[in-house]
């Protein structure tokens, strides 16, 4: 049985995102997800490789929507307390929460051979956000 997860009580930021991923998936994010498939970790291009990769692509789009609204996502990732409780922080946390829950729903799609996937193999049309 999985431990209870209270995502509403965790503040934003990349370190807390990593903690949430670890708690929900029981995988170490930097080894298991940061360079998984075509969309997990920094950047992303081409068609997602599986449902897990789709979670990351959707997360990228969620952040992209915040950027289009003029928010500075990168500064909140590094210093989430600077805007604690603001609309943007709440939206950032919602993006992170949805990704973590998506990863949890798709644990059975996780494929070890997609860890550290060579990004030049990521081809095809990148899905629109």
- pLDDT tens-digit series, residues 17-65: 999 999 999 999 999 999 999 999 988 999 999 999 999 999 999 989 8
Reported confidence tier of residue 87, pLDDT bands at 50, 70, 90? confident
| Annotated binding-site positions for Ca(2+) | 41, 43, 60
Binding-site entries: 41, 43, 60
The topology (CATH level 3) of 9-121 is Phospholipase A2 (1.20.90)
Q: Give the pLDDT band of residue 2 (cuts 50, 70, 90).
A: very low
Show which residues are catalytic. Answer: 59, 96
Where are the domains positioned within the chain?
9-121
**In the chain, what percentage of residues exceed pLDDT 70?**
78
Give the CA angle between residues 20, 17, 69 to the nearest 5°.
135
This prediction has a pTM of 0.79
Taking residue 44's Cβ as centre, other Cβ atoms within 10 Å add up to: 20
Taking phi first (over 0 means left), then psi (-120 to 50 degrees means alpha), and beta for anything else, what does residue 7 get?
A: alpha
């Amino acid at each position: 049985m999985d431990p209870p997860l209270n995502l509403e009580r965790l503040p934003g930021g990349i370190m807390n995102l990593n903690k949430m991923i670890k708690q929900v998936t029981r995988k170490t994010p930097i080894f298991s997800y940061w360079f998984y498939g075509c969309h997990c970790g920094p950047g992303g291009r081409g068609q997602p490789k599986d449902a897990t990769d789709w979670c990351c692509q959707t997360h990228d789009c969620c952040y992209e929507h915040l950027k289009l609204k003029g928010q500075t996502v990168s500064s909140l990732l590094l210093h989430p307390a600077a805007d604690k409780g603001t609309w943007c922080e709440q939206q950032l946390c919602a993006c992170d929460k949805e990704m973590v829950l998506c990863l949890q729903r798709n644990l059975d799609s996780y494929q070890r051979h997609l860890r550290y996937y060579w990004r030049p193999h990521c081809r095809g049309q990148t899905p629109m956000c």
